[in-house]
Structure 1
Amino acid sequence: MKRAFRPAPSLASLLLAALFAAALAGCGKGDDAAAGDDAAAAPLPQPQQAGGAITDMPAKPGPGEVPLGGEAPPPPPPDLLPADERFGLPPLEDNPETGLASSDPAATAEPTPADAAAVLRDYYAAINARDFARAYAAWSDGGRSSGQTAEEFAAGFADTAGVESTVGDPGPVEGAAGSRYVEVPVMVTATFADGSTRRYAGRYALRRAMVDGATPEQRAWRIASADLREAAE
C-alpha cells in the first residue's frame, strides 16, 4: 500500500502562523483591558435620596435634637427655684408670686397686749420730750380719736412741765366689728409750770383693725379712748 506524500512545512509558513497567533492573543488582551476600564469608570450603586436622610428618618429634629436647616433652637426652660427641704416647695422669701419672707417673724406676727402697753409708755415719753406730733399719732384714726386737732392737742400741754406714768398689765383682748380692743390701766403724775403736781388714775382703751385690706398702721395698736380722773393725794 502506498502512503500519500505530504510535503514538509516551510520555514516561511511557520513564521506566518506564529505571527497570526500572536495577533489574536493581543486582540483578546485589549478587549479585556477595555472592559476593565469601563468597569472602573462606572459609579458604584448607591441609595437614592428623595429629600430625606439616607436612613429615611425625618429631616427635622425631634425634641432636644440639634436643629437642621438653620432653624433656631427652642429657648431653654426657666431656672427652678430651690426646693424647700420639708415640702419640696420654693421658700416664701424666694417666691416672686408672694414676696413674703417665711423666716421673718414680723411678716406674720400679730400685735400682743404687751405691745399695747408699750404704745402707752411711748406716748408719755413723747409728751415728756414735747414731741406732741408723735404723741398725737399714738391715737387711732391719725390722731382724730383724741377729739382734738393736732394744734389743740399740743396746746393742752402748754402748762405741763413733765409727766411720770406707771403702765399696768393689759386686760384680756376683746373683739367687736372687725376690731380688737384691750384696756390698759395707767397712773400719771403731772408736774405743771408753777411747780404744782396732780395725780391721775384710769385706763386707756387701745384698738387695732382686723378686716381684710387693713394697712399695717391700722393693724397696730392705737389709743381709741381714755378715762383718767384726778386721784386723791
Structure 2
Amino acid sequence: MRNASPLVVLALLAGCGGGEEAGNNSAGAADAPAVTLMNEEAAEADNAALAPLPEPEANLAAPDASLPGIDAPPLAPRAQPTATPTPEAGRAGAARIVRAYYDRIASGDYAAARAMWDDNGEASGLSPADYAKRFDRFADFKAVVGPAGRIDAGAGQRYVEVPVTVTARMKEGGEVVERRGIVTLHRTGDIEGATPAQQRWRIASAEILPRAPAPLPGSAPVPAPEAETPIITARYACEGGVRLIARFDNAKDEVTLRRGYRALGTLQQQPSGSGIWYKGEGGLELRGKGNAATITIPGGAPLSCEAR
C-alpha cells in the first residue's frame, strides 16, 4: 500500500475532530459571545493612531446608506495594529458623521440634520420647526471639521468630541459670523441587548460659541483678568446618553443648563453642607460633588451624570 500524502492525513485528522478534547472545545465555543466587545484596551488602541486617515467629502445626493455609521453598518476596522480586535466605529467615522451633519445644514436639509441627533432629534432641544428657523437665517454656511479626540469608553457607552469651526453669512444685513466649539457624539457599545440604531454615532451635544474678534493692528492687548474667571462651563454625560451643558456664573451664584440648542433654565445656588446644590423653576435641580452630579429635569426622573 502506498503511503498516504500529508494533505490526506491532515484531512482525516480534521474530520476526526481530535477526540474528546475537540468535543470540549466545541462546547466552549457555544458559550462564547457572538461579537468581540470593545474594552478599555481596545479604545486606547484606537486612540493611539498617530494621524487621522484622509476622509472623502460626504455625498449629500446619495441615499443615507452611503453615510457609514448613520443608516449603514459601521466602517470596517482601519488597517492598523490594535491590542484586541474591535468591530466598533472609531474616531474617523465620528468625524465623518459631523461633516455630513454640517453639509446637510449647508444644503438646507434641516430635517435630515436634526435626525442625526440622539433620541430621534430630541437631544437637539428644538422642535423641527424651531430647528429650521435657527439655521434658515444664514445665506451661506460652511464648517471646517477637525480630527476627533479620544474615545471615552465605559459602562457600555462611547463618547467622542470633534472640534468644529463654523463660518456663516446672515441673510439679513449680510454680516459674517464665525463660531467654533465642540460637537460631542454618543453611541452604545456592542453589548448584549443594544440595537443597531443605538450602536451608531449620534450627536449628543454641540457647544459652538462665537470666536473672540482678533485685535486691530496697533491696538493694546486685552489685559488678563485680575480675579478668577466667574464663568465656568461643564459638560455632563448622563445615563441614557443624555448630554447636558452647565454654565456656572460664580459672580451671580447661578447656573444655566442647556440640552442641545435649548436652554432648560437658570438655577440659583442653595446652601449646601457638602458639594453644590442649585434649584430652578418647575423642579429643575442640580446636586453635585466632585465630577458626579444628579440632575433633575421637570417631568423626568433624576439623572446620574458625570462632568467630562
Structure-1-length-normalised TM-score: 0.53
- Give the match for residue 208 of structure 1: 187
Structure with a larger share of its residues in strand = 2
**Which secondary structure does the structure 2 equivalent of 1:218 belong to?**
coil
Contact 1:127-1:162 within 8 A present in 2 as well: no
**Which secondary structure does the structure 2 equivalent of 1:185 belong to?**
strand
Structure 2 vs 1, CA of residues 106 and 118 (structure 1 numbering), >3 Å: closer, same or farther?
Answer: closer
**Which secondary structure does the structure 1 equivalent of 2:102 belong to?**
helix
- Give the match for residue 150 of structure 1: 128
Contact 1:167-1:185 within 8 A present in 2 as well: yes
Contact 1:203-1:228 within 8 A present in 2 as well: yes
Contact 2:188-2:200 within 8 A present in 1 as well: yes
Contact 2:181-2:209 within 8 A present in 1 as well: yes
Cα distance in 1 for residues equivalent to 2:95 and 2:74: 20
State the shift of 1:176 in Å: 3.5
State the shift of 1:138 in Å: 1.2
Cα distance in 1 for residues equivalent to 2:140 and 2:153: 35
- Give the match for residue 209 of structure 2: 229
Q: Does 1:121 align with 2:99?
A: yes
- Give the match for residue 152 of structure 2: 174
- Give the match for residue 220 of structure 1: 200
- Work out which of the residue numbers 82, 90, 111 in structure 2 matches 1:133: 111
**Which secondary structure does the structure 2 equivalent of 1:156 belong to?**
helix
Percent identity between matched residues is 41
What is the count of residue pairs matched by the alignment?
Answer: 134
Structure-2-length-normalised TM-score: 0.40
Structure 2 vs 1, CA of residues 192 and 105 (structure 1 numbering), >3 Å: closer, same or farther?
Answer: closer
Computing the radius of gyration from Cα coordinates, the structure with the larger value is 1
Structure 2 vs 1, CA of residues 189 and 142 (structure 1 numbering), >3 Å: closer, same or farther?
Answer: same
- Give the match for residue 142 of structure 2: 164
Cα distance in 2 for residues equivalent to 1:225 and 1:152: 17
Could you say what the CA RMSD is over the residues aligned between the two structures, in angstroms? Answer: 2.5
Structure with a larger share of its residues in helix = 1
For structure 1, which runs of at least 5 residues remain unmatched after alignment?
1-86, 90-99
> Deviations 1:59-111 (Å, cap 9, x if unpaired)?
xxxxxxxxxxxxxxxxxxxxxxxxxxxx889xxxxxxxxxx9xxx99688311
Structure 2 vs 1, CA of residues 160 and 180 (structure 1 numbering), >3 Å: closer, same or farther?
Answer: same
